[in-house]
Amino acid sequence: MENNQNNNNVNELDENQLMKVRREKLDKLRAEGKDPYKITKFNRTHTSKEIKDNYEELEGKDVTIAGRIMAKRIMGKASFCHIQDSEGKIQSYVSINDLGEESYKSFKEDDIGDIIGITGFVFKTKTGEISIHAKELTLLSKSLRPLPEKFHGLKDTDLRYRQRYVDLIVNPEVKDTFIKRTEIIKEMRRILDEKKFTEVETPILNTIPGGAAARPFITHHNSLDIDMYLRIATELYLKRLIIGGFDRVYEIGRIFRNEGMDIKHNPEFTTIELYQSYANLEDMMDLTEELVSKIAEKVLGTTKITYQGTEIDLTPSWRRVTMIDAVKEVTGVDFNSITTDEEAMEAAKKAGVPVDPIKNTRGDIIAAFFDEKVEETLIQPTFVYEYPIENSPLAKKLDNDERMTQRFELFIGGREYANAFSELNDPIDQYERFLAQVKQREAGDDEANMMDTDFINALEYGMPPTGGMGMGVDRLVMLLTDAASIRDVLLFPTMKPLN
């Protein structure tokens, strides 16, 4: 432990010394009237990728690029450097004969991490590397803090997440994940827009946190002098729009839940929720399947992927199974023949399934069996439908069994990706469900829904039969980029402050 501390102190001293040297270089530049921070614009003609992709057309022609110095090799009166821009790296040949003595001396003073502009002609070196023969160099920004060493840099994932800006510089492949994230969301929008869905925005600050079973973040509005909640779902506002006459709506946006953190959960995350009038649960299954498979095909070029070493086939059609049947397949326990809470509790004891003292009805125990024994076994895409009414306060009941609801969740690789209902549009039933949730809350369940009288009021005006679906965008990005943790697909994940 002592040796590690000593090494850390040495590294800090080294970095402080290097920063001191770089500050002195900046002071010298400013004294010479060459302050790089005063430059407001630089006209580039090409990116590194454009030059490489169009070499035959650009060979021998002048181009102007800009980027960060990632490597330098000084060889007397001629040198090489590698410049990294938003699309990759490219080499530049720099010589005293082309730049002149003063400019070449300035270039030799430039540091790894500095941002420069280069004008010169395109050529290939003797080894065949596409490069730029520099005629003019401009220092555009001074890097006062040295980048981590190539092999001893940001391997600490915690530090990478805290300093994503350095992570993106040193590990440019990280950027590919976030480019794919953008492509995934673009394709999601394109598909829904083609189906005549309307993208909308609903409030993030809510007076009642509703639409999900989750603990909210609480804040205070000074002017109104009321507590408010960061939204835990977009559902209830989107359904108000269906009531108001929108036929098909969706929202892609940030959700906030004051809960635990792990590789699947971050306190703020992105979801898409969509609602379609005159549609039901099966329509939502078809739409969810289409969305995920088409996005995979567009972004990856295939529906057959590998996630963390496991092959997954996203090609339609996906398996569909009831929750009770899924539990029976894995555990042998058939809840179709278990009718009372007492029988369910006995089955849980025999199977070693823990039961929450507050959530101990037959329906609660079916859900507990599924969570404990079944979910992790669902590797290939599977729609699990017909959920207990206890954990589905916003879904329609089954016609033939009012203890169960018209709800599904999508599971891939042992994780939940989407949640959907044939939406409950009976205001009387919805009011009674909210009352039951309020009682759960009073009994100590701080994830239970609150009473939303305005939403009941809206339902009383009449909502058409509606299908609704919510999907975790971050989890979908994890799946399609083979990312192990949600933090790998969030540019700036939530982190505990170091101080």
Q: Examine the fold and report which residue of 147, 163, 191 is the final residue of a domain before the chain moves on.
A: 147
Same domain (yes/no): 115, 236: no
Residue 372 inside a domain? The answer is no
Residue 135 lies inside a defined structural domain of this protein:
yes
Same domain flag for 191 and 106: no
pLDDT value at residue 446: 81
Please tell me whether residues 185 and 143 are part of one structural domain.
no
Kindly state whether residues 178 and 300 are assigned to the same domain.
yes
Q: Please indicate, yes or no, whether residues 229 and 103 belong to a single structural domain of this protein.
A: no
What mean pLDDT do residues 396-424 have? 96
Q: Identify residue 205 by its one-letter amino acid code.
A: L
Residues 131 and 183 in one domain: no
Q: How far apart are CA 93 and CA 16, in angstroms?
A: 31
- 218 and 90 in a common domain: no
In terms of pTM, does the model score above 0.85? yes
Peptide bond into 79 cis (omega under 30): no
Same domain, residue pair 135 and 187: no
Whether residue 138 sits in one domain with residue 45: yes
Q: Tell whether 162 is covered by a domain.
A: no
For residues 437 and 27, which has the higher predicted lDDT (pLDDT)? 27
Contacts of 270 (CB under 8 A, 6+ apart): 252, 253, 254, 255, 472, 473, 474
SS (H, E, C) 100-167: CHHHHHHHHHCCCCCEEEEEEEEEECCCCCEEEEEEEEEEEECCCCCCCCCCCCCCCHHHHHHCHHHH
Residue 352 counted as domain residue: no
The CATH number linked to 441 is 3.30.930.10
Range of the domain at 27: 2-147
Place of tokens 């690029």: 65
Instruction: Specify whether the backbone of 176 is left (phi greater than 0), alpha (psi in -120 to 50) or beta.
Output: alpha
Choose between 375 and 213: higher pLDDT: 375
Residues 127 and 184 grouped into a single domain: no
CATH of the domain at 45: 2.40.50.140
What is the chain's mean pLDDT, rounded? 93
Same domain, 242 and 384: yes
**CB contact burial 129-153 (16+ within 10 A = b; e otherwise):** ebbbbbbebbbbebbbebbbeeeeb
- Rounded Cα gap, residues 322 and 348, in angstroms: 19
- Token couple for 13: 């001293």
Looking at the structure of the chain, the number of domains it has is 2
Tell me, yes or no, whether 21 lies in a domain: yes
Task: Report the distance separating Cα 76 and Cα 99, nearest Å.
Answer: 14
Residue 160 lies in a domain: no
Residue 8 has pLDDT above 60, yes or no: no
Determine, yes or no, domain membership for 152: no
100-128 tens-digit pLDDT: 999 999 999 999 999 999 999 999 999 99
Same domain, 122 and 210: no
Tell me the pLDDT tens digit for each residue of 263-293.
999 999 999 999 999 999 999 999 999 999 9
Measured in degrees and rounded to the nearest 5, phi and psi for residue 107 equal: -60, -40
The mean per-residue pLDDT over the stretch 74-91 comes to 95
